[in-house]
Amino acid sequence: MNTGFDDMISTTSGGLGMEGLVAFLLAFGFIIIILLLILFAFWIIALIARWKLFVKAGEAGWKALIPIYNDIVLSKIAGISGWWVGSAFLALIPLVIILVMFELSATSVLSSLFSGMLQLLFYAYIGFVYIYLHMKLAPKFGMSPVFGVLMAIPLWSDMTLPIMYMILGFGKAEYQGLGGVPTANDGYAKQMEDYNKAYAKYEEDVKKYNEEIARQDTDKK
């Protein structure tokens, strides 16, 4: 039954030798481990970037760690209703129910066709929601809506969305607030806040100095 596979193994073993085959498998496994470690590090950095993005927008960073909820908060940051994201996940429930019921009552060919169409519509809707979400999110950090659309296209978004979060989270982009109005997290507003605090401290020091001079004058009299 497995003569073809056995012949292939025998040929490979004969060409490379057993030691060569073992070395090849070890090298291949090592490369896979390195790639997985790189992907894991990339995922961790992207998660930290998303945490910083949330903080820039005035949200607690830990909210970026909770699946589904983090997307709902992200939609709030983008200025759209959280129901956009919620509806994408809630649509999964009737989809599963319909698919199960149809599987039990239809022929295999028709069932497969109907199942494929429903799944295609479901994934298309999720893709639309995420493109719309990030199209609205990008301008809130001073970026073009096109930037958000390109990053969220489903075909490559698994790699590009983390890059978008790194650019917005680690970069100089500041949250512009809803409607583009600078918030307390905006760089200029932060500078003004620091200036007001410094000026208030200066006024307090001047007041203490004047009180000290007045007290010394009183003691001399």
Domain boundaries, the chain: 21-177, 186-221
Instruction: Inform me whether the pLDDT recorded for 34 exceeds 90.
Output: yes
pLDDT of 119 reads 75
Structure tokens that stand for 79 in this block? 């200025």
Nearest 5°: CA angle at 90, between 140 and 52?
30
Structure tokens that stand for 43 in this block? 């995922």
pLDDT of 169 reads 86
Q: pLDDT tens digits, residue range 77-100?
A: 988 888 888 777 777 777 777 767
pLDDT of 185 reads 46
Q: pLDDT tens digits, residue range 140-198?
A: 888 888 888 887 776 566 677 788 888 888 888 888 876 554 444 444 455 556 667 77
215: amino acid identity, one letter: R
| Residue 185 CB burial class (10 angstroms; 0-12, 13-18, ≥19) | middle
Distance of CA 62 to the CA centre of its chain: 13
Give the residue among 120, 115, 68 at the shortest CA–CA distance from 96: 115
Give the residue among 87, 48, 42 at the shortest CA–CA distance from 64: 48
pTM, to two decimals: 0.60
Q: Between the CA of residue 183 and those of 117, 119, 132, 188, 193, what are the distances in Å? A: 45, 41, 23, 9, 11
165 contacts 43 by C-beta, under 8 angstroms: no
- Radius of gyration of the chain from Cα atoms? 30
pLDDT of 33 reads 92
Instruction: Inform me whether the pLDDT recorded for 122 exceeds 60.
Output: yes
